[in-house]
């Protein structure tokens, strides 16, 4: 953990065993979640880097974690071909998202928190309804995903898009509507 203003290290967050593959601050900045090789999510104090809990989230490597915009849910992407949703308050599972045929590499919430995007080594991006855990869309893709507001002049307030920087078909961008 680094102080962004001074560039000085604040703390070293060691996973204990294996590698850390991803680290994300919660929206308020008070907590950090890390994705570990051993299937654990570890939580850390966002100011001091002190350990603040852990969660056995998967039996295999976790590639990525993401907090929902309200900070109440955490998504995990795993080597076990699933993504999972967790309630951050009690660390209980909310949903197991199945449908990918290979490792789930990244997770991203839509800015309103109603959708979750997952990308996989199976070269697909899937879009999920967070409330029902139902798959609501899929597209071919090669790389991790992000959610962003459309920049087209005709965009409406709710016109959020899921973008993957490269598609397997050779197109520059693939996108799915998030609303």
What average pLDDT does this structure show over 5-15? 80
Name the more confident of 17 and 85: 85
pTM: 0.78
- For residue 18, give Cα distances in angstroms to 31, 38, 64, 141, 145: 21, 6, 15, 29, 25
What average pLDDT does this structure show over 51-70? 90
How many CA atoms within 13 Å lie on the side-chain side of 11?
A: 12
φ, ψ of residue 38 to 5 degrees: the values are: -90, 15
Contact 31, 41 (CB under 8 A): no
Look at residue 39 and tell me whether its pLDDT is greater than 70: yes
Look at residue 90 and tell me whether its pLDDT is greater than 90: yes
């Amino acid at each position: 953990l680094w102080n962004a203003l001074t560039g000085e290290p604040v703390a070293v967050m060691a996973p204990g065993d294996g590698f850390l593959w991803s680290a994300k601050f919660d929206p308020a900045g008070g907590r950090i979640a890390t994705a570990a090789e051993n299937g654990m999510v570890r939580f850390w104090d966002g100011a001091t880097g002190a350990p603040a809990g852990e969660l056995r989230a998967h039996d295999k490597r976790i590639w990525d974690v993401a907090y929902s915009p309200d900070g109440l849910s955490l998504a995990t992407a795993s080597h076990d071909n699933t993504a999972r949703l967790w309630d951050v308050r009690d660390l209980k599972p909310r949903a197991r998202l199945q449908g990918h045929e290979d490792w789930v590499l990244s997770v991203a919430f839509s800015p309103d928190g109603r959708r979750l995007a997952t990308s996989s080594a199976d070269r697909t991006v899937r879009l999920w309804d967070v409330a029902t855990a139902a798959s609501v869309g899929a597209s071919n893709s090669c790389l991790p995903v992000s959610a962003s507001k459309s920049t087209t002049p005709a965009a409406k307030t709710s016109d959020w898009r899921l973008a993957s920087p490269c598609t397997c078909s050779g197109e520059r961008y693939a996108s799915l509507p998030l609303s």
